[in-house]
Amino acid sequence: MSAEIICVGTELLLGDILNRNAQFLAIELAKLGIPHYYQTVVGDNPQRLYQVIETAVNRANILIFTGGLGPTPDDLTCETIANFFGAPLIERPEIIEDITNKYAKRGRTMTPSNRKQALIPQGAEILPNPMGTAPGIIWEPRQGISIFTFPGVPGEMHGMWRETAIPYLKKQGWGKDIIHSRTLRFWGIAESALAEKVASYLSLSNPTVAPYSSKGEVKLRVSAKATSEAEAEKLIQPVEKQLQDIAGVSYYGSDSDSLASVVGDLLRNAKQTLSVAESCTGGGLGQMLTEISGSSDYFWGGIIAYDNSVKEKVLGINPDDLKEFGAVSATVAEQMAIGVKERLGTTWGISITGVAGPNGGTAAKPVGLVYIGLAGPERLVESFEYQFGATRGRTLIRHLSACNALNSLRQKLLH
């Protein structure tokens, strides 16, 4: 028994998009212990897709398709599969109803072309799509062959996989030996430095420990193979604890934690509130904080002071200081933090002012220079200077600025 992942979409052949769906499914199949030996990408072309199915049924039992379920004429995955196995397509009224309702909720009416999405092979089960209009199918067209189809949209595909496909596969007996992982998250330490600190753990076999890093964050993935999640946890937890102790304050959370959620929990527990004053991040810090549902418990809001006139008029920055030190300076960062804290009446105020680039850099104030200001209880006022370097690019410089601002507050709240 083995699976094959078949991703359908001309945009993959043109290189328009990265095949993240194949990676997602590969990881999920590994977790369930389902072997998978081949991945195939084919365009929106029924003849070629037909041949791909022909090849796949001769070397795999579980065929997992992504893409080609949309309402447009070039979305042909379901039709081609039905055609290959010689099954007629049946219009399923419950799908029509579901699409109609979803459109109604969005104040739209279903178009004739959506009817196409309600056609699924005779004998197939509907694989519900809670988010989008395109449902998938689960189908055993012949003995020993299982078909799963998913839309190409990752968000929709992930939900459908977790809510329907996993339970179905577990009922079939898969996932007895599972791989369970914990991702430990670190901020303010380089991957190489962390890897050296925990070097002896990187050669463990069960659990395994693997370092990753992206956009300034470093992660350690601790993965255990066991008969149950509980058994896996027994293997993971002691190692997890040791890794946390070794890393110290640079460890900030695990799995779905984010700097924003961790800071939020610390503020909620301390019954304290936060406001932000943003220049070069233009609202990115506020967005990060409010990405967390329930952030209204501690986050009151902020002032986006992109133009200096807003720094003066709304935040009350001293115009002479703006002239003397410039908008990108420790002094202005501190005044911004104080200004927003006082005007919004919160326990804490964080500010960010910097040169995100690519333009606007000078010898004295190069692209990547960012000041973070922090104002808190008992007249606490601090600022931090960062030199992210121009090569990181505007988007990453802004992201690193917001994350470091949150990390500065996190460290204060821990004391």
307 versus 324: smaller Cβ distance to its own copies? 307
**Helix or strand (DSSP H, E) at 219:** strand 217-226
- At 107 the three-state DSSP class reads coil
Minimum CB separation of residue 65 from its own copies in Å reads 15
15 versus 173: smaller Cβ distance to its own copies? 15
97 versus 196: smaller Cβ distance to its own copies? 196
Please state, in angstroms and as integers, the Cα–Cα distance from residue 264 to each residue in 85, 233, 295, 341, following that order: 53, 26, 7, 17
- Measured CA to CA, the distance from residue 73 to residue 114 in angstroms comes to 10
Minimum CB separation of residue 269 from its own copies in Å reads 19
Half-sphere exposure of 113 (CA within 13 A, CB side): 8
| Strand-pair category, 36-42 with 208-214 | unpaired
Minimum CB separation of residue 59 from its own copies in Å reads 7
**DSSP 8-state code for residue 328:** S
24 versus 168: smaller Cβ distance to its own copies? 24
109 versus 143: smaller Cβ distance to its own copies? 109
Cα dihedral across residues 322, 327, 333, 336: positive or negative: positive
Residue 248: exposed, middle, or buried by beta-carbon count in 10 A (0-12, 13-18, 19+)?
Answer: exposed
Find out whether 33 and 116 touch, Cβ atoms under 8 Å.
Answer: no
Minimum CB separation of residue 85 from its own copies in Å reads 20
Minimum CB separation of residue 133 from its own copies in Å reads 8
- Measured CA to CA, the distance from residue 412 to residue 372 in angstroms comes to 13
Minimum CB separation of residue 301 from its own copies in Å reads 4
Minimum CB separation of residue 394 from its own copies in Å reads 6
What token pair was written down for 182?
């914990």
10 versus 244: smaller Cβ distance to its own copies? 10
- Measured CA to CA, the distance from residue 181 to residue 30 in angstroms comes to 12
51 versus 227: smaller Cβ distance to its own copies? 51
